[in-house]
Structure 1
Amino acid sequence: MHTLTEENYLKAIYRLAQRPGEKITPTAIADKLGNNPASVVDMIKKLCDKQLITYDKRKGALLTNNGQRDATLIVRKHRLWEVFLLEKLGYSWEEIHNIAEELEHISDATLADRLDKFLGFPEYDPHGDPIPKANGKMPAIPSVTLAEAEPGTLCRVAAVKDTSTDFLQYLKKLNIHIGTKLQLLERIAFDQSSIIRINNEAELTVSQKFSESILIS
């Protein structure tokens, strides 16, 4: 059994580990969680003592097999709860993250599997993030952003990298969601903004930050 704080650290390290080649430092963890770096160092020691992570200055923090298992379960529960909140309770996609942050800490051993079955075994959460399976396997993770696409590209929104309330509300206002068809019409050399067409209808100029926040397939 882990404390809520320990689980949040495991999840933060898990998510930082999804960035290839990036060393997971106390500063990176502190930035992810909005914590003081000094308190992060103390928690790293506790997690090492519990054999959930290893840490040295050269390699940074790494999840052990036990830490990977526990972190994967936390992420699995979080993303399943997001699907439940959106599909079954009618919450909007900008509301579900904070609620799922609380629900993910329910420790019942069979809850995640029952929830997964009830929802029809979804592969992705409402933001496009893959939901780990009970055996720890993960569906394919979208990795190409709209900012990397060439003008003329036809694509669909596969996921969003920015899950802040402001960005999700902006997408909702534009009627953009997971699965929306986009066409990149032009990229402006001056500031790398882009002109896109949404669902073969409306044309819109969006910022570079916008394009970097949209993952496509």
Structure 2
Amino acid sequence: MLTTSEEDYLKALYTLTEWEDTEVSTGALADQLGLSPASVTSMIQKLSGKGLVNHVPRKTVALSPSGRREALRMVRRHRLLETFLRDELGYGWDEVHDEAEALEHTVSDRFIDALDARLGHPRHDPHGDAIPAADGSLPVSQAVRLDRYTGQRAIIDRISDEDPDFLRRAAAQGLVPGASIELPYQLDYIEASLIWVRGSGSK
């Protein structure tokens, strides 16, 4: 059994590497979790002892195969709960993240599997992020960040859910997963880095 904190660490580590193919330092993980580097280092040592992460002291930390499985289990919970809150309870897509964060540690895997079936086995959450299957598999995405995209026309694939205010502004402009946009689109650099797109001919 993992503690709530351990689950949060594994999910945060996965989130940092899901869309950016970069090495993660304990400092970056501390920033993601809003904790001190010393606290993060202590927890990473604990997770390493359990075989859940691979850690090079003062350098990088990465999920082990067993750590990745646990992280994806939590990601699956989180994204299915977000989808349930929007589709069944009428939450806005800017409201579901924090609520799902609170709920994901309190429900069982059986509940999540039943919720998945009730929702019709959705493949993506309200923000366009892929929902892992029960076996941990994920569909492959060809999406790239909007500020790095070089085409003339694109389809929005996913939008970062870290800033509720940005989600509200994006929705007001029709910038939601599945929407087609012509480029260049008038967004500042920071906002463009929160949107992932794919070419209009790709899936």
Fold conserved between structures, TM > 0.5:
yes
TM-score computed with the length of structure 2 as normaliser: 0.89
Which stretch shifts more, 118-127 or 105-114?
105-114
1:183 counterpart residue number: 182
Query: Does 1:214 pair with 2:185?
Result: no
Query: Does 1:154 pair with 2:135?
Result: no
Which stretch shifts more, 133-142 or 75-84?
133-142
Contact 1:142 1:215 in 2 (8 A): no
* Inter-partner Cα distance in structure 2 for 1:182 and 1:19: 21
RMSD between superposed Cα atoms in Å: 1.9
Q: Give the greater-gyration-radius structure (CA).
A: 1
Give the CA deviation at 1:207: 1.6
Task: Name structure 1 gaps, 5 residues minimum.
Answer: 187-195, 197-204
Query: Does 1:61 pair with 2:80?
Result: no
* Inter-partner Cα distance in structure 1 for 2:149 and 2:39: 41
AA partner of residue 172 (structure 2): K
* Map 1:3-82 → 2, pairs under 5 A: 3-19=3-19, 21-57=21-57, 60-82=60-82
* Inter-partner Cα distance in structure 1 for 2:98 and 2:56: 32
- Secondary structure, aligned partner of 2:196: strand
AA partner of residue 116 (structure 1): D
Contact 2:94 2:161 in 1 (8 A): no
Give the CA deviation at 1:107: 4.6
Contact 2:127 2:161 in 1 (8 A): no
Distance 1:94 1:113, change over 3 A: same
* Inter-partner Cα distance in structure 2 for 1:94 and 1:162: 7
Question: Between Structure 1 and Structure 2, which shows a larger proportion of helix residues?
Answer: 2
TM-score computed with the length of structure 1 as normaliser: 0.84
Which one has more relative contact order, counting CA pairs under 8 Å at least 6 apart?
A: 2
Query: Does 1:143 pair with 2:124?
Result: no
How many residues align structurally? 198
Question: Between Structure 1 and Structure 2, which shows a larger proportion of strand residues?
Answer: 1
Task: Name structure 2 gaps, 5 residues minimum.
Answer: 199-203
CA deviations on 1:173-203 (whole Å, 9 max, x unpaired) are 223222122111x4xxxxxxxxx3xxxxxxx
* Inter-partner Cα distance in structure 1 for 2:187 and 2:65: 42
Give the CA deviation at 1:33: 0.4
- Secondary structure, aligned partner of 1:206: coil
Identical-pair percentage: 38
